[in-house]
A and B are shown apart, each in its own frame.
Chain A
Amino acid sequence: MQIFPRRWAAMAVIALGTLVSGTLPAPVVAGDAGAAPHLPRAPGAGRAGFDPGALLPLSARPADRAEGAGDNAGPGDWARAPERRLSPYGMPCREELSAVSAPGAMIRLTLFAPCRAGATVRIEHAGLVLEMPTDSMGALRVDLPALVGLGELSAGFEDGTRLARTVVVPDMGEFTRVVVLWERGAASGDEGVGEPPLALHAREVARTAAKGADLWHRQPGNSGRLLRGQGGRMTVIDADNGRAEVYTAPRRLGTVRLSLEGEVTQANCSQAVPATVLRAAPAGGPERSALSLRMPGCARVGEYLRLKSVLPDLKIARN
C-alpha cells in the first residue's frame, strides 16, 4: 500500500496537464523493464512515446477520441478538454492503462480508473481473456503472459469503454509458452474459492532427467532459473472468469511433457471442465483450442487422473 503516495503524485501531474497526450496506443519498449519498479511517474522532458517505461496516459472515452486528439496532439489539447469529473478521493476520473514488457516475456499491466473502484475489467491479449476487478482505489496491476512478440493488450469495462496499448515483447522469441485457462462457469458462481479439478503439469526432461522437475502451481519453479535458461516456470493468475495456469520455458530447454492432472473428488466427478488452451507459436498469433474435459464417473472418486495425451509436449523442432 505504500505505492499510493507516489501514485497520487503522478496523478497530480496528470491533472495539471503536463503530459504529452498519448491518445493512440504507442509501442512501449522496456529494455530495462526488470530494473525499475513499474510505478507511474511523470515523464521526463522527451516525448512520452519515446520514454521507455514511462506511463503513457491513454484516453479511451469515445467523447475524447471524437475531439480528434490524434498522435500529434500537444499539451494544449488537455486544456481544451479538462477532466472535470473527480473520484470520491478527488482524483480525475480519466482511465489510464500502461503495459510494459517485463523479463520472461511478461507484460506488466497497470490500470488506473479512479472512478471505477471494484469494477470488472476485461483484459484481452492475443486470445487470452481475463476478467479482473479493480481495487478500492480503482487500480489493477497484474503481470500477464505475452503470447505474441508484438501485439495488443486491451482493458475494457462493462459500459463499453475500452483502452488499448501496443506491447513489444523483445524476449518473446526466447521462450515457449502454454496457457491453460480453466474457465469458471457462470453457473457455479463461486467467488474464487473453488480450485479447478485439474492442474497443468510440466515435466521437464532436462539434460539429466534426474534433475528434471515436475512443475505445477504448487511447485512453480522460479524466474531466476527461467531467465538463466535452466528451466521453466509456472505462474497462476486467478481471475473472475477462471484460473490461468501459465507455463513458460526457455526455447532451448528441450522436451517438456505436458499433462493435466488432478484427483477425482465427490465434487468434481462426472463434471465437464471447460478450458481454453493457448500456445505461443514461433510465428504469428498463438494457437488456441477449446476443451471440455469430462471427469471420470463418481465410482472413481479418490483416483488420480493424469491426462497425458491432451496437450502436445513441447519439443525442439527437428523438421
Chain B
Amino acid sequence: MPNRPFRAALAAAAVASLAIGPAVAQDVTLTSRDGTVDISGTLQSYDGEFYRVDTVYGPLTIDGQGVICNGIGCPDLEAFVAEFALSGSAAMGQVLLPALVDAFARQRGLRLLREVLDESRSRFVLSDPATGTDQARITLRLSSSEEGFADLAAGEADLALSLREIGPEELSVAALAGLGDLSGPRRSLVLALDALVPVVAAANPLRALTPDELAAVFAGEVSDWSALGGAEGPISLHAPAGDSALGQLFAEEVLAPFGKTMSGQARRHADVADLVDAVADDPGAIGLTAWSEMGNTAPLDLRGSCGAVLAAEVATLKSEDYPLSLPLMLYSPARRLPLLAREFIAFFDSSAAELVIRRAGFVDQGIDRTPLARQGARLTNAILGAGGEVPLEELQRLARALRGAERLSTTFRFEGGSSDLDAQSRGNVARLAQAIETGAFDGRQLVFVGFSDGEGGAMPNRAISRRRAEAVRKAVRAEAHTADFSRLKLTVDAFGEALPMACDDSAWGRRVNRRVELWLR
C-alpha cells in the first residue's frame, strides 16, 4: 500500500511535464523515506528537485524530497548543478540581469563569478563558498527581444527577455516548438518598467511636444526648429533601429495613428547609448530613446492640445500614466526549470530585487502611495475640463469620495480598443492579489475607481468605467485565493471622464484616460 506522501508524489507525476538535462537511461530504485514503497526504473533526468523515471507504470515524476535513491543511475545530489540560459533584449540583459544575479547570489550566500565569453555572452557561475562546488551556471546572451524568442523556440534558451509582448507569429513558432502557449497567464512576467522618451540636447530650450508634432518631426514633415517655436535651424533625427522594441513602439503608437512613417533622413542607431551621446552633442538634434538610457540628454514631456502634460518619471511610469511604456518581460516555456531557476525567477518579485531594479536605472513595481493633496495638477485638469458634460456636482462627488484617501501606483489599463488588461496591468492583478493575501491592506478599504476617455456621452462613459472597475475587482478577487476578504473592503466607484490624465486628442491620450485607479482609505 503506498503511503500518503508517496501517493501524492505519484499524483504529481500526472501533471509533470518535460524534464531538463541529458536523458541518460540508468537503473535506479527510489524508496520512500519510511521504506514502505519502492519504484524501480531507468532514470530519465533529475532537475535538483524531481526525479523523472521510466517505470513499468510509464514515466513517473517523483519529488526527490520524499524518496531515497539507490542504484548506479542515482545522481550525485550534492553535485547537481542547475544550468539554464537567458536570451534576449540587450537593454534588459546588459545591466539589470547581471545585477539581479549578483543580488540573488548574495542573498543565497553563494560566490559569483562572471565568465565573459564574448561581446554578447556571459556565464554566471554560482558556487558554494565553503566547498567551492558549483550550484548553478546561468548563461546570458544579449541580443534583441526578437532573438530571445527565436532562441527560446530553438531550445537554446530557457528564458527569453523581451521589451514587448510576444507577437502572434512568435507565439505560433513557440507552440510548434513544444513550448506551450506563451501568452498564457503564467508564461510571462513583468520584471520592471521602462518607457520610450523623446530627448534633445540639454542646450536645446524645447521641453515639450504634442503627439502630432512628434509624429510630424520624425516623419520629416517638420524639419526646422522654427516650426516648433525654436530658433531657425535644421532638425536632425536620431532613431533606434526599426526592428527594435523601441522602434516598433514608436511606429505603432506615435507614427501609425497619424498615418505616418519614419523619415528616411533619420539616423538609425543599433545602440541607444550611441544615440543619446550623439543627441547630447548636437543642439539641433532630437532622438528617441529609453527612459533608462537618457545619457546627458534632456527628456521632452508630451503635451496635449488641452494643456495636460505627461512627463516620464518614476511615478508616471509605475502607474502607466505616461503612455509610451515598455514593460521588461521575462518569458518562460511550459516546462519544468531546475529548482534554482524557479527560485531565481521568484526572487524577481522580492523587495531586494526592487532595489536592484531601481539602482540599475529602471522602474520597479513596488506599490507607492500618493495622497490626493499631492495631485494638484490632476485636479486642476479636472476643474478646467468641467462644465457641460461633467457638472460641478460630479466633481464634488469625486472630491468627497477621494478626500483623505491615497492613490496607489497600481493602475489598470487596457489593450488598445479592448477591455483586456495590458501586460503590466495583468502583472498588477497578481501583485495586488499577493499583497492582499499577505494582509498588507487588512483593516483598510481598497476602492477600484473607474475612469474613461471623453469620447461619447458622460452617462455611458460612467457606466463603462464602472464595469471596468468591477471587472478588475473580480479579477483581483479570483487571483487572491488565500485572502480573507472579511479583513478588508474592496469597493468600486466610477467617474467616467471627470478626471482626465491626458488629452483625448490622440489614441494614446485616450488610452491613458481609460483606466481603473486604486485608492486606499
C-alpha gap A296/B278 in the complex (Å): 30
Instruction: Indicate which residue in B95, B102, B280, B314 contacts A319 across the interface (CB closer than 8 Å).
Output: B314
Given known pairs A205-B295, A257-B273, the reply for A296 and B361 (CB within 8 Å) is: no
Answer whether residue B360 sits at the interface, using C-beta atoms and an 8 A cutoff. Answer: yes
C-alpha gap A308/B118 in the complex (Å): 11
Which chain B residues (267-293) contact chain A, with CB distance < 8 Å? Answer: 271, 273, 276-278, 280-281, 291
Asked if A294 and B202 sit within 8 Å, CB to CB, the answer is no
C-alpha gap A305/B141 in the complex (Å): 18
Instruction: Indicate which residue in A209, A254, A313, A319 contacts B358 across the interface (CB closer than 8 Å).
Output: A319
Answer whether residue A310 sits at the interface, using C-beta atoms and an 8 A cutoff. Answer: yes
Asked if B112 and A312 sit within 8 Å, CB to CB, the answer is no
CB-CB contacts of B249-276 with A at 8 A, as 1s and 0s? 0000000000000000000000101001
Asked if A290 and B112 sit within 8 Å, CB to CB, the answer is yes
Instruction: Indicate which residue in B113, B119, B277 contacts A308 across the interface (CB closer than 8 Å).
Output: B119
Which residues of chain B are within 8 angstroms of A309 by Cβ–Cβ distance?
A: 90, 93-94, 119-120, 142
Asked if A255 and B277 sit within 8 Å, CB to CB, the answer is yes
Which residues of chain A are within 8 angstroms of B358 by Cβ–Cβ distance?
A: 319
Which residues of chain A are within 8 angstroms of B122 by Cβ–Cβ distance?
A: 310
Shortest C-beta distance, A81 to chain B (Å), equals 40
Answer whether residue A10 sits at the interface, using C-beta atoms and an 8 A cutoff. Answer: no
Answer whether residue A228 sits at the interface, using C-beta atoms and an 8 A cutoff. Answer: no
Q: With CB as the reference atom, state the residue of chain B lying closest to A305.
A: B119
Asked if A312 and B119 sit within 8 Å, CB to CB, the answer is no
Interface size class, chain A: 20 to 34
Asked if A257 and B119 sit within 8 Å, CB to CB, the answer is no
Which residues of chain B are within 8 angstroms of A209 by Cβ–Cβ distance?
A: 277-278, 280-281
Asked if B116 and A315 sit within 8 Å, CB to CB, the answer is no
Asked if B114 and A291 sit within 8 Å, CB to CB, the answer is yes
C-alpha gap A306/B116 in the complex (Å): 12
C-alpha gap A291/B278 in the complex (Å): 31
Answer whether residue B343 sits at the interface, using C-beta atoms and an 8 A cutoff. Answer: no
Instruction: Indicate which residue in A292, A305, A312 contacts B113 across the interface (CB closer than 8 Å).
Output: A292
Given known pairs A309-B120, A309-B142, A319-B314, the reply for A289 and B114 (CB within 8 Å) is: yes
C-alpha gap A209/B273 in the complex (Å): 13
Asked if A293 and B116 sit within 8 Å, CB to CB, the answer is yes
Shortest C-beta distance, A307 to chain B (Å), equals 6
Q: With CB as the reference atom, state the residue of chain A lying closest to B122.
A: A310
Which residues of chain B are within 8 angstroms of A305 by Cβ–Cβ distance?
A: 119
C-alpha gap A255/B277 in the complex (Å): 9
CB-CB contacts of B114-137 with A at 8 A, as 1s and 0s? 111111101000000000000000
C-alpha gap A305/B362 in the complex (Å): 29
Which residues of chain B are within 8 angstroms of A293 by Cβ–Cβ distance?
A: 115-116
Which chain B residues (285-309) contact chain A, with CB distance < 8 Å? Answer: 291, 294-296
Answer whether residue B363 sits at the interface, using C-beta atoms and an 8 A cutoff. Answer: yes
Given known pairs A205-B296, A255-B277, A289-B112, the reply for A294 and B361 (CB within 8 Å) is: no
Which residues of chain A are within 8 angstroms of B360 by Cβ–Cβ distance?
A: 312
Answer whether residue A188 sits at the interface, using C-beta atoms and an 8 A cutoff. Answer: no
Which residues of chain A are within 8 angstroms of B94 by Cβ–Cβ distance?
A: 309, 312
Which residues of chain A are within 8 angstroms of B276 by Cβ–Cβ distance?
A: 255
Given known pairs A255-B296, A318-B361, the reply for A294 and B117 (CB within 8 Å) is: yes
Which residues of chain A are within 8 angstroms of B98 by Cβ–Cβ distance?
A: 289, 312
C-alpha gap A205/B277 in the complex (Å): 7
Which residues of chain B are within 8 angstroms of A257 by Cβ–Cβ distance?
A: 273, 277
Answer whether residue A208 sits at the interface, using C-beta atoms and an 8 A cutoff. Answer: yes
Task: Specify which of A290, A309, A315 lies most central, judged by the most chain B CB atoms within 10 Å of its CB.
Answer: A309
Shortest C-beta distance, A34 to chain B (Å), equals 30
Task: Specify which of A205, A207, A287 lies most central, judged by the most chain B CB atoms within 10 Å of its CB.
Answer: A205
Which chain B residues (359-390) contact chain A, with CB distance < 8 Å? Answer: 360-363
Asked if A315 and B117 sit within 8 Å, CB to CB, the answer is no
C-alpha gap A317/B294 in the complex (Å): 11
Instruction: Indicate which residue in B93, B111, B119 contacts A307 across the interface (CB closer than 8 Å).
Output: B119
C-alpha gap A287/B93 in the complex (Å): 18
Answer whether residue A267 sits at the interface, using C-beta atoms and an 8 A cutoff. Answer: no
Asked if B280 and A205 sit within 8 Å, CB to CB, the answer is yes
Answer whether residue A35 sits at the interface, using C-beta atoms and an 8 A cutoff. Answer: no
Asked if B117 and A255 sit within 8 Å, CB to CB, the answer is no
Instruction: Indicate which residue in B102, B277, B294 contacts A318 across the interface (CB closer than 8 Å).
Output: B294
C-alpha gap A193/B387 in the complex (Å): 81
Which residues of chain A are within 8 angstroms of B273 by Cβ–Cβ distance?
A: 257, 308, 313
Which residues of chain A are within 8 angstroms of B362 by Cβ–Cβ distance?
A: 319
Which residues of chain A are within 8 angstroms of B291 by Cβ–Cβ distance?
A: 318
C-alpha gap A197/B281 in the complex (Å): 32
Which chain A residues (278-308) contact chain B, with CB distance < 8 Å? Answer: 287, 289-294, 296, 305-308
Answer whether residue A210 sits at the interface, using C-beta atoms and an 8 A cutoff. Answer: yes
Which chain B residues (77-125) contact chain A, with CB distance < 8 Å? Answer: 90, 93-95, 98-99, 102, 111-120, 122
C-alpha gap A299/B278 in the complex (Å): 34
Which residues of chain A are within 8 angstroms of B113 by Cβ–Cβ distance?
A: 290-292
Asked if B118 and A294 sit within 8 Å, CB to CB, the answer is yes
Shortest C-beta distance, A229 to chain B (Å), equals 15
Asked if A312 and B116 sit within 8 Å, CB to CB, the answer is no
Other than the known A313-B273, A318-B314, what 13 A-B pairs have Cβ atoms closer than 8 Å?
Answer: A205-B280, A207-B202, A207-B203, A209-B278, A209-B281, A255-B295, A289-B114, A290-B111, A291-B116, A305-B119, A309-B90, A309-B120, A318-B294
- A to B CB contacts below 8 Å, 30 in the list: A205-B280, A205-B295, A207-B203, A207-B296, A208-B281, A209-B277, A209-B281, A210-B281, A212-B281, A257-B273, A287-B102, A289-B98, A289-B112, A289-B114, A290-B111, A290-B112, A291-B114, A292-B114, A293-B116, A294-B115, A294-B117, A296-B118, A307-B116, A308-B271, A309-B119, A310-B116, A312-B98, A317-B361, A318-B291, A319-B363
Top 9 closest A-B pairs, CB basis?
A: A209-B281, A255-B295, A254-B296, A293-B116, A312-B95, A309-B94, A292-B115, A319-B314, A205-B277
Q: Which residues of A contact B (CB under 8 A)?
A: 205, 207-210, 212, 254-255, 257, 272, 287, 289-294, 296, 305-310, 312-313, 315, 317-319
